[in-house]
Amino acid sequence: MKNSEFLKLSALDLVEGYKKGDFTVSDVIETALEYIEVNERNLNALITPLYEEARSRSWMLDAALARGEELGSLFGVPVVVKDNITVDGVRTTCGSRMLENWISPYSAHVVECLERAGAVIIGKANMDEFAMGSSTEFSAFGPALNPWDLSRVPGGSSGGSAASVAAGYAPIALGSDTGGSIRQPAAFCGVYGLKPTYGLVSRFGLIAFASSLDQIGPFARSLKDVAAILQVISEPDARDATCTRKERPNYAEFLNVTSLEGFKVGYLAGYESLEIDDEIKRAISQTIEICKESGAEIVEVDLPISTRYGLPCYYTIAPAEASSNLARFDGVQYGFSVAADDLKELYLKSRGSGFGPEVKRRILIGTFVLGSSRYDAYYLQAQKVRQLIIREFNAAFSKADVLITPATPTLPFKRGEKLTDPVKAYMADLFTIPVNLAGLPALSMRASMSQSGLPVGVQLIGKKFGEGDILKAASVIEQVVGPAATALGGDRK
């Protein structure tokens, strides 16, 4: 096997290869690191590559393999972690100048889980500052690019994680999703991105954006890897009070089904007339057709409140929570600090130059909607709309097991295209945001490639803790459209 072939293998194929003695962990890690070094000049998918750490861990794992030790389910698998998830002893910047030099003294629960399973963290991924954005252009470390077309954005805010998996840096990565930050970049980069049910995966060690919406989830190029990494990171954890103790199913068991007999797939009534790209509409129809041919019953569902009021509801609640979560970055306790004569000036100067423009906008919106004279009209009203959205989804799920919707209204957009118009950028999350408001799980996956060679994604939404249903339907679709491809060097434009 040529070394560059390692970059195309799935996580589980790598583990198989190590077990059979086809190659060693250091062979694979070395290949990945060399490839990253060359490609990072273009992609900028990583804020902090962990060359030395990954190298020494690969030697340690090879030694364990030679001693015949029992191997974890992600043994020797390279993984990229979004830079708002902490790794002990490594800086966690959140894509912000505010935390540029902040070294985390502890690891997130999901990172501990990955390491226990034998994974090798090879880098911390680029992201929009504090996970606010949908293009990774709001990173204080420069934008990440889309590996399929370097003139386009990879999506965001977990754009660096999605681009890393699409480019072949690693078969799997972690991101976070508050309003679409896993699913939108996954769609733009043509890989799988799963936002688990709110409460399935512990957020211990995730720097909070909007606590009632944030979830950590995986990126991968195949469904079997999605199931494998989800199994690992969804281990219950008492350090996040919202993390359920409910027993997790064996996610791999939902894969490789060939029939959807007795299964109901819902689609959005009138999606053909929505303002979405024609190629995305076509991908939705094809995906529904695949489900139908596999025996699923296809039903129409209506989500008028979610599609109409989801965005304003989110852009009230999320900034409100963010303005309170980000109050801790005051120049005193954490990170960036500017010397000043008095405390107020210290706050103003540190926050004024530590935060970038989008984060400031969110703090301003959040502070505005929470103001005592505006609270009822904005924040409270948004909470009521959120309840209506939850009810609307409940009604849809009384008719269907899984819903198929667009992941995004458009294909990956050009760099700079939405930078000066925030509302236009917020529209990128039209279909992903209601899912967070309702706390549901959803997967975005590549359904086809556009005529211009860009990935076209669709979204599968499940009931609470219905990750298994999503995997089942997605597995039938994957068998027809194939797993995600790697945009290795020459494959891209």
* Catalytically annotated residues: 82, 157, 181
Give the Å distances, CA to CA, from 271 to 100, 188, 398, 406, 479.
43, 20, 20, 9, 25
| Pairwise CA distance, residues 79 & 199, whole Å | 23
Q: Does 131 bind ligand GLN (CB under 6 A)?
A: yes
Amino acid at 104: S
Q: Does 157 bind ligand GLN (CB under 6 A)?
A: yes
Give whichever of 7 and 127 is closer to ligand GLN, judged by the CB atom: 127
Q: Is there a contact between 335 and 100 (Cβ–Cβ < 8 Å)? A: yes
- Give min distance, CB of 294 to ligand GLN, in A: 31
Q: Does 147 bind ligand GLN (CB under 6 A)?
A: no
Give whichever of 157 and 323 is closer to ligand GLN, judged by the CB atom: 157
Binding segment for ligand GLN (CB under 6 A), chosen from 131-139, 305-313, 371-379, 387-395, is 131-139
Give whichever of 57 and 418 is closer to ligand GLN, judged by the CB atom: 418
Q: Does 123 bind ligand GLN (CB under 6 A)?
A: no
Strands of 378-419, DSSP E: 402-406
Binding residues among 415-434 for ligand GLN as defined by CB under 6 A: 429
Q: Does 132 bind ligand GLN (CB under 6 A)?
A: yes
Strand partners, 121: 79
Query: What DSSP character marks residue 83?
Result: T
Q: Does 134 bind ligand GLN (CB under 6 A)?
A: yes
Q: Does 180 bind ligand GLN (CB under 6 A)?
A: yes
Give the Å distances, CA to CA, from 51 to 46, 56, 116, 162.
12, 9, 20, 20
Query: Which of 33, 155, 70 lies closest to 431, judged by CA?
Result: 155
Q: Does 209 bind ligand GLN (CB under 6 A)?
A: yes
Give whichever of 133 and 335 is closer to ligand GLN, judged by the CB atom: 133
- Give min distance, CB of 142 to ligand GLN, in A: 18
Give the Å distances, CA to CA, from 209 to 106, 317, 412.
19, 11, 24
| Pairwise CA distance, residues 403 & 462, whole Å | 7
Among 27, 137, 177, 279, binds ligand GLN (CB under 6 A): 177
Q: Does 179 bind ligand GLN (CB under 6 A)?
A: yes
Amino acid at 162: A
- On the question of a cis peptide bond just before residue 157, with omega within 30 degrees of 0, the verdict is yes
Among 133, 205, 335, 406, binds ligand GLN (CB under 6 A): 133
- Give min distance, CB of 493 to ligand GLN, in A: 25
E strand or H helix at 78: strand 78-82
Q: Does 318 bind ligand GLN (CB under 6 A)?
A: yes
E strand or H helix at 219: strand 215-220
Give whichever of 54 and 194 is closer to ligand GLN, judged by the CB atom: 194
Among 86, 178, 306, 410, binds ligand GLN (CB under 6 A): 178
Residue in the structure block whose two tokens are 């059979």: 20
| Pairwise CA distance, residues 287 & 264, whole Å | 14
- Give min distance, CB of 407 to ligand GLN, in A: 13
Q: Does 198 bind ligand GLN (CB under 6 A)?
A: no
- Give min distance, CB of 426 to ligand GLN, in A: 7
Binding footprint of ligand GLN on the chain (CB under 6 A): 131-134, 157, 177-181, 209, 318, 429
